[in-house]
A and B are shown apart, each in its own frame.
Chain A
Amino acid sequence: MSVIVLVEHTGGVIKKKNFEAVQYASQIAKKAGTTVTALVLGTVTETEMEGLGQYGAQKVLHIADARLDEFHARAYSSALVAAAEKETAKIIVTLHDIGGRMVAPRVAVQLKAGLVAGALSYPDTEKGFVIKKAVFSGKAFAYVNILSDTKVIMLMPNTFPATKQEGKAVVERLDISFSEKDFVVKVKSVNKVTGEVSLADAELVVSGGRGMKGPENWGILEDLAKELGAATACSRPVADSHWRPHHEHVGQTGGTVRPNLYIAVGISGAIQHLAGVNGSKTIVVINKDPEAPFFKAANYGVVGDAMEVLPRLTAAVRKFKEQHK
């Protein structure tokens, strides 16, 4: 018996959030008196896989099938089920991200396993197998008990920091025969926005609302984002007016972000917007209207005109970086 964790990678590079998942799984395994096996799919170097040992994985199962270099939800699910069976794993961990969300629920029904989507805590085994998650778009938390023998946990990224330690995982090759059904969905084209920080993964986000007055003023917001190494986002009216692309829209009907720092510039803070950002660890609100409801949800507030405050903040960040080189 072991704990198994799915580790995705981008072109052979394993990201920080995957380390978080490995470490999370290893903590659970330690408590259960067992070990962690990471499942890696597609083309990745031996060194990259061995490195998962630094986050607590004792073993890596590697399915090297090059078809898995592309994301195929069904093939990934089949692989995870096969790996779980091989390791007689009763606990399966993925991330609550795009990939994890397309794979884990399928694995759960196949294994008749209870699942927690967006786990925010380690399982509490005092009264069962109880995990905390956010509900009602962050307006409450629920403590969910998994009743089945096999358990699937989808960990919310950016919940537990990953800290590197000494360690090297043993890589073992796993060969499974996929069915044709596993590759029915064909990837026709991939269009990645390069050169920008991806919003879903961003630790810092600078977001603009109608208070920015028009798309021509976004330069000063982008300057701040660049200085911070932050992703840019926007409110719904901004996306609907085509000032910014739709994928930047965060809020109830757009995307959800959970960065360490969310800087909202000229966004009033409608409840629909808050639903998409209230998982942020720290919120800074810049708005010239002191009555803007967003101030109630913020940690830090600046009452002032965005056009004046933004360049000043960018300069302050630049100065800070110089001092802390």
Chain B
Amino acid sequence: MKILVCISQVPDTSTKIVLKNNNTSVSSDGVTYVLNPYDEWYALIRAIELKESGIATEIHLITVGKADVEPVMRKALALGGDEAIRIDAESSDAYETAGYIAAYAAQVGYDLILCGKESIDYNNGTTGTMLAGLLDMDYIGFATDIQIESGAALVKREIEGGEETDTCNLPLVISCQKGVAEARIPNMRGIMAARTRPLKVIVPSKITAVTEILTYELPPAKAGIKLVSPDDMDGLVALLHTEARVI
């Protein structure tokens, strides 16, 4: 069984967002880039577990980006994975990203495609669904548990107010979130091994984005906190009613 894991490089959670060029782009000065946590902790680690338990035979990691994403791909390889693929393009929307990955995946053929439920930079959570659409594959989103048995997946996924268990024959695209796997950190052996694993660079297929970001904006500063004495909870309730109008 061959697994493709979709990886996105994102600014570290603690990054302070600074806008530049008249608010038309986000500054990368001093920004530390990391593996998107949902891709790493859940999708990639689950793929590795499936290989360790002998169910998966091969894991490929794929990303879309220029050469500057390679350190993050090496870090991903240090956790596990047999091969990394970088589609050499600067994508401007999920449609373009999904298009590049789908074109490559269609050529190779994968039994299972895993991605995180969303990336923490653009918070779309659309790439996995789009990939399934483009590849005419089935899709299960928001998985919290993934088991594979004799060519079929048994997947627990979040639904509103609970969870649902789905079954589906492979091939399948699944987006992963908390519960799918436990976070790990790369060990020395992995880091050494990652150095020699192949990182293929692929020329992108011809795809044009269907959206563009015109400008960015930072949220207005909070007006400032109102402190309420712990002895005056009636006062707090009154504020929530008359001022915030939430109760």
Residues of A participating in the B interface, judged by any CB pair closer than 8 Å: 10, 71, 73-74, 77, 97-99, 101-110, 112-118, 127-128, 130, 132-148, 181, 184-193, 196, 198, 200-201, 203-204, 228, 246-247, 249, 252-254, 260-261, 271-272, 275, 278, 281-282, 284-285, 295-305, 308-309, 312-313, 315-317, 319-320
Contact = CB atoms under 8 A, between A and B. Distances in A.
Contacts of B144: 246-247
A301 B213 contact: no
A311 to B, nearest CB: 9
Interface string B204-247: 00000111111111110011011111110110111111001011
B93 interface: yes
A138 B124 CA distance: 12
B160 interface: yes
Given A147-B211, A191-B162, A253-B38, A301 B226 contact: yes
Contacts of B237: 313, 316-317, 319-320
A246 B134 CA distance: 33
A115 B95 CA distance: 8
Contact of A313 (B126, B223, B233): B233
Q: Name the interface size band of chain B.
A: 35 or more
Nearest to A253: B37
B165 A249 contact: no
A201 B159 CA distance: 11
B73 interface: no
Contacts of A107: 133
Given A136-B11, A188-B167, A275-B120, A106 B228 contact: no
18 contacts: A10-B160, A71-B164, A105-B127, A109-B98, A117-B123, A142-B122, A142-B213, A147-B210, A148-B210, A184-B168, A191-B164, A201-B161, A246-B179, A253-B41, A302-B230, A304-B230, A319-B234, A319-B237
Nearest to B158: A98
B141 interface: yes
| Across the A-B interface, the 9 shortest Cβ-Cβ residue pairs | A304-B230, A114-B210, A198-B161, A105-B129, A192-B162, A316-B233, A106-B133, A105-B126, A261-B246
B19 interface: yes
B218 A140 contact: yes
Contacts of B126: 101, 104-105, 108, 115, 117
> Which label, helix, strand, loop or mixed, suits the secondary structure of the A interface?
mixed
B186 to A, nearest CB: 18
B140 interface: yes
B141 A143 contact: no
Interface in B113-134: 120-130, 132-134
Contacts of A104: 126, 129
Interface in B4-56: 11, 13-17, 19, 26, 37-38, 41
A108 B130 contact: yes
B211 A137 contact: no
Contacts of B236: 284, 300, 302, 313, 316
A196 B160 CA distance: 12
B70 interface: no
Contacts of B238: 320
A98 B162 CA distance: 12
A118 B13 contact: no
B168 A186 contact: yes
B163 interface: yes
A253 B173 CA distance: 20
Contact of A116 (B130, B179, B211, B247): B211
A203 to B, nearest CB: 8
B247 to A, nearest CB: 7
B77 interface: no
A203 B240 CA distance: 13
Nearest to A202: B161
B13 A74 contact: no
Nearest to A103: B129
A140 B94 contact: no
B162 A190 contact: yes
B169 A184 contact: yes
